Amino acid sequence: MAVLVSGRGSNLQAIIDGIEAGKINGEIVAVISDKKRAYALKRAEGAGIQTIVIEEDSREAFQRALLDCLSAVDPDLILLAGFMRLLSPAIIQSFPGRIMNIHPSLLPSFPGVQAQRQALEYGVKVTGCTVHFVDEGMDTGPIILQEAVPVLEEDDVDSLSARILEVEHRTYVKAIQLFAQGRLEIEGRRVRILPPAPVKEEIV
């Protein structure tokens, strides 16, 4: 796996912890950031994971450098974990069905930035998080998993965000493991979750 980050990296930490706990059968081969001061890089370094920073002034140059970097690393799965840039069509087409994102709302409601604030301002009673495959739109790709979080009367953006983030951590780990087990199948807009492979009994 390659993980793209821009900020604190709490979802990155959840993935690292999931691997160490045996909840994800896989390894992170690189953590890539567009911000050299992103705290997520320190988390990766602390876990002994290769870190790469790409800083380019123009969007086009950045996207080309990122595609070159991902092609060199050649991961089975690319994970967006608080990565604050849209990926170019060239990147998405190079890794079809192999890029995941997690978003703090029940998509298609409240895509884009400030999803928690959008939910509060709209007055919904339930929001949550969504893990989805990435396509060329903004938060529009096929949905893998969703988990609901109630919106409480006393909630503000910070309290709602913190409660959603707790759910994000476990939901992302579940989705990554389903991919690692080969149990995700994309059919148009739907992602089918296949049953686990039967356990082979050993003949004594």
Catalytic sites, residue numbers: 103
DSSP string, 106-142: -TTSS-SS-HHHHHHHHT-SEEEEEEEE--SSSS-SP
Q: Which residues contact 67 (CB under 8 A, 6 or more apart)?
A: 88, 90, 91, 94
Q: How far is CA 130 from the centre of its chain?
A: 9
Amino acid present at 197 = A
Q: Which residues contact 45 (CB under 8 A, 6 or more apart)?
A: 51
Contact 11, 82 (CB under 8 A): yes
- Count of beta carbons in the 10 Å neighbourhood of residue 58: 8
Cα–Cα distance, 160 to 145 (Å, whole number): 19
